[in-house]
Amino acid sequence: MKIWVYAEPAPEGDKPATSTLELLTKAREIADTVEAVYVGSNADAMAGPLGEHGATKVYAVDRGEALAGVVGAAALASLVEANSPDLILFAQSYDGRDALARLSVKLDKPVLTNGTDLKLDGDRAVVGTAIFGGNTLVDTKFEGDGPFLAAIRPKSFAAEPGGGGAATVEQVSAPDAGRAGEARVLEHHVEEQEGPKLEEAAVVVSGGRGLGSAEAYEPLVEGLAHLLKGASGASRAIVDAGWVPYAKQVGQTGKTVKPKVYVALGISGATQHLVGMKGSDNIIAINKDGEAPIFSVADLGVVGDVHKVVPKLIEALQARG
């Protein structure tokens, strides 16, 4: 079994994305050969962590100003024939989905997406997904000939180094992507954010519609997150309402988080929200409705008004210094 992982750089550009390392960790558990196909610059800096997490070889492609997914799909298609991987894994990320989608057409292979689990049944990959807001688990097996193409949601597996040395880097030139290559990236905008990243923070404090207004988010949610050295998140209701940017959304159509502590402020706990956070080690919920579904997953549930409980909580934490 040979697995390829479509490797992406972290937003900072100097190391692989955590989701890539998660996929490599899982791949090395089930495959004899694990290799990475990386689109971007700095391939030599990536080779260390990629190797440490299980890749023995990295095929590296520069993308210039073209979209990573377009270059990635073209490069993968040209490499597949000579190297015959059995399974190619992508993170369910922006570029991961682009690359997967285009490659599926080039190879005329189906795709399985939103995977949260991966196993083998003989020489066939079986992808587990959670549907209906995470209430139902479905296993789907590929039929026909490989390579099989699957996208896995970030945070489905833990990223753990396995002690391997740096992967060898083979630089490959980007094949002509035709008109698809005409889309160019003109500018990168980095939205500065303070504190740890949502997916990596040990503490996540999220706010929902129960905050009552956009103005309450900063003092209550960000205020508490800051004191706990955590990150701030949100339910979709307040993202759609424009109170906070999409990047903060936790749930089925947002991010999956698994912090040590998740604090939900004024969030009802719809299944689509729960699926993004119920893997947290500990959950604290504050909601004024004692019947809110969020309490069914909370280790500590406070039936109360966020405007009363949270300011006192913040004050008590500040008093501790």
Binding site for ligand FAD (CB under 6 A): 208-210, 212, 235-238, 249-254, 266-268, 270, 272-273, 276, 286-289, 292, 305-307
The nearer residue to other proteins, 34 or 313, going by C-beta atoms, is: 313
Binding-site member from 16, 51, 69, 208 for other proteins (CB under 8 A):
69
Separation between Cα atoms, residue 266 and residue 112, nearest integer Å? 34
Whether 43 contacts 168, CB under 8 Å: no
Assess 302 for contact with other proteins (CB under 8 A): yes
Tokens of residue 232, six digits: 């701030």
Assess 71 for contact with other proteins (CB under 8 A): no
Tokens of residue 116, six digits: 């949260």
**Count of residues that bind other proteins according to CB under 8 A:** 93
Assess 173 for contact with other proteins (CB under 8 A): no
- 240: partner contacted, choices other proteins, ligand FAD, none (Cβ within 5-8 A by kind): other proteins
Alpha carbon of residue 46 to chain centroid: 19
Question: Residue 49: is the preceding peptide bond cis (ω within 30°)?
Answer: no
The nearer residue to ligand FAD, 27 or 267, going by C-beta atoms, is: 267
Separation between Cα atoms, residue 128 and residue 251, nearest integer Å? 18
CB of 136 to other proteins, least distance (A): 6
- 318: partner contacted, choices other proteins, ligand FAD, none (Cβ within 5-8 A by kind): none
Judged on CB neighbours under 10 Å (0-12, 13-18, 19+), 236 is buried
Query: Rule CB under 8 A: which of 121-160 touch other proteins?
Result: 121, 126, 130-132, 134-144, 151
The residue ranges of DSSP E strands in 210-260, in sequence order, are 231-234
